[in-house]
Amino acid sequence: MSEWWRGAVIYQVYPRSFADSNGDGIGDLAGLVTHLDYIAGLGVDAVWVSPFYTSPMLDFGYDVADFCGVDPMFGTLEGFDAVVARAHALGLKVVIDQVYSHTSDQHPWFSDSRSARDARHADWYVWADAKPDGSPPNNWQSLFVGSAWTWDATRGQYYMHNFLREQPDLNLLNPEVQDALLEVARFWLDRGVDGFRIDAVSHFTHDAQLRDNPPRIGGERSRPVDFQQLLYNSDQAETLTFLERLRSVIDEYPDRLALGEIGGPDSAARSLAPYLAPHRLHTAYSFRFLLADALTPEFVRTAVGEWEHAHAGGWPTWVFSNHDAPRALSRWGGEAAPPPYAIVLNALLLSLRGSVCLYQGEELGLPQAHVPFERLRDPEAIANWPRTLGRDGARTPMPWIAKGRHGGFSPAEPWLPMEPRHLPLAVDMQAGVGNSVLESTRRLLALRRRHPALIDGDLKFVGGTESVLAFERTAAGDRVLCVFNLGATAVRGVAVAGRWRSLAGSVPAGAEVAASIALPAYGFVLAAPAGA
């Protein structure tokens, strides 16, 4: 086994917003194919394609109506095969989402399940009788808004949904459901995908007794679900058994990846060790940074230390931004965050011990987009507006050509508006410009590929200050010193032990790094031992 994923950089594409090939305002698989050269040219190892399956798109593809079909708005199965073929020709692995916790209510399985209590798929979803007073079976709350239970008059029972009411939860306590999902996995593995990003893993199974969740003390409370500990509708032992079955299928194919999303209100404090045990997931991405409102050296030290302490040697995957969270640049740097802040964030992300998911646009330094209420599409954002930023601001179209129609994304009005502040940051404005975020990120990715220490070496913190983070990455025969000023003011007198030469950053490449470093605001230096 090559374990290609260990230390890999995986570029996440949100296909609706990446590139539109047919002029309908929605990105598609053909558009992705035409830009795979760009992705490969960044120097990443893999591309993760968010859902493109047949769906009514109430949750934009995470409400799946056919696990083995491509929604016509994205193309065809043959179009997906073209993505895989072209990516492989460019040396890129292909990772796709698998959504096993729920389906769309338009899925044929659910249509049959709700038709009668003795239907073929009757027990493929989570159904329960009402309480004597007609209220839901228990107090479980949806992660979006309101009760996790919806009454179905046809069947005369409530069905469970951890997300939208149109996303009924599959009953993975039923072995037949597990068998069907394993066949879905085989379908895509047979088509040549190199791995799965597995959605909502912690919500795969539920407490069969349907016990009430206890109250959650403290923490932010913007939704009803935030008032509960998700003790009985999350993190159940039966999920681990299913993951072992899934992993056994994945292991039938050489060099494939199982990457888990394990989220929820308490995800920052949860130990992922049970999910990362042998014969389950290869890795999972931490929500520690996605949920953080501020980035400080102390926070980074804590987040990394928590992983090493709690996860029993499990391999981490780090994520600063994705389609489910406001972009890190704005979340941590504010509305006026400058390009050097975007560069130092990418330098830090690409220097941490673990694999990396780099979300489309991070290599350009895109800030969170402003989407007016009347243009919002995200059901979570609409339900909780204006309390939460929502997800639409991280899902707006990719800017390719600054002076092109809608930023070169599409000749038609895009499904979400193009953010005007993104146009000066378009790919054509940054390509070939040496100090741009794009070219800086390309150099950082190339540097990572040249240094084994940055791919899978050990990490040791070596001092720092209130605004400066410093650590060493070490592998056999390779050492890299990483120093980052995460503050908005210049610093002087950052002590460095030993003699080093700069590889990248605020000190010119090849120059000796002084024993007392001066770094500008959002400056950084990556360095190798002098004489190495």
Q: Are 430 and 370 in contact (CB under 8 A)?
A: no
pLDDT in tens, 333-385: 999 999 999 999 999 999 999 999 999 999 999 999 999 999 999 887 787 77
pLDDT score at 271 = 76
65-73: list long-range contacts, CB under 8 Å, 24+ apart.
65/103, 65/104, 65/106, 65/107, 66/107, 67/99, 67/103, 67/181, 67/184, 67/187, 68/184, 68/187, 68/188, 70/29, 73/24, 73/26, 73/28
Q: How far apart are CA 126 and CA 114, in angstroms?
A: 11
pLDDT score at 267 = 56
Q: For the chain, how many structural domains are there in total? A: 2
Q: What average pLDDT score do residues 200-215 get?
A: 97
Q: Which of 179, 212, 252, 458 is catalytic?
A: 252
Residue 73 sits in the same domain as residue 213? yes
| Domain contains 170 | no
Higher-confidence position of 393 and 218: 393
Residue 45 sits in the same domain as residue 94? yes
Q: Mean pLDDT of all residues in the chain? A: 95
Q: Which of 63, 97, 169, 199 is catalytic?
A: 199
| Domain contains 198 | yes
Least confident of 63-77, 158-172, 215-229: 215-229
Residue 343 sits in the same domain as residue 408? yes
Helices (H) and strands (E) in the chain, counts: 13, 21
CATH number at residue 263: 3.20.20.80
3-state secondary structure 431-472: CCCCCCHHHHHHHHHHHHHHCHHHHHCEEEEEEECCCEEEEE
Tokens for 199? Answer: 């959605």
By residue range, what is the domain housing residue 492? 457-529
Q: What average pLDDT score do residues 466-481 get?
A: 96
CATH number at residue 464: 2.60.40.1180
Residue 349 sits in the same domain as residue 487? no
| Domain contains 152 | no
Residue 326 sits in the same domain as residue 351? yes
> Is position 199 annotated as part of the catalytic site?
yes
pLDDT score at 1 = 57
| Domain contains 169 | no
